[in-house]
């Protein structure tokens, strides 16, 4: 049984994952786990590519500043730091888990 915790005020919500008991459900959840791992790897790769792009852009930005010291500060455009969005790996996993017959139970607890 997996658990996730989210703190809110003086209580926290714990999520208990109750896996399906059938062999078919078990195999289905294994597919969900595989898909989640692929999603996480894709997100990490996207973030790595964005980091490399940002580092390259920062190099050009610094070079522009060095080559144009008398120009206004807005002459060289500072790069924007981006992060990979659109990867809801846990939400997709939760939906898949439920489709396989699993149950996710929210439990509110006092701290």
Residue range 79-97, pLDDT digits in tens: 988 888 888 999 999 999 9
Boundaries of domain holding 64: 2-110
pLDDT at 50: 94
Burial class (CB in 10 A: 0-12, 13-18, 19+), 104: middle
Query: Is 97 within 8 Å of 32 (Cβ atoms)?
Result: yes
pLDDT at 105: 96
Residues of the chain with pLDDT below 70 are: 1-9
**Separation CA 106–CA 103 (nearest Å):** 10
pLDDT at 53: 95
pTM of the model: 0.72
pLDDT at 26: 96
Tally of structural domains, the chain: 1
**Separation CA 69–CA 29 (nearest Å):** 59
What is the Cβ-side half-sphere exposure of residue 29, based on CA atoms within 13 angstroms? 19
* Region of 48 on the Ramachandran plot (φ > 0 left; ψ -120 to 50 alpha; else beta): alpha
């Amino acid at each position: 049984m997996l658990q996730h915790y989210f703190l809110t005020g003086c209580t926290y919500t714990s999520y208990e994952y109750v896996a399906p008991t059938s062999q078919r459900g078990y195999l289905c959840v294994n597919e969900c786990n595989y898909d989640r791992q692929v999603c996480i790897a894709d997100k990490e790769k996207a973030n790595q590519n964005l980091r490399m792009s940002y580092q390259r852009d920062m190099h050009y930005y610094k070079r522009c500043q060095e080559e144009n010291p008398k120009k206004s500060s807005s002459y060289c455009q500072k790069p924007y730091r981006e992060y990979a969005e659109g990867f809801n790996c846990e939400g997709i996993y939760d939906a898949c888990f439920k489709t396989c017959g699993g149950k996710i139970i929210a439990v509110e607890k006092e701290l």
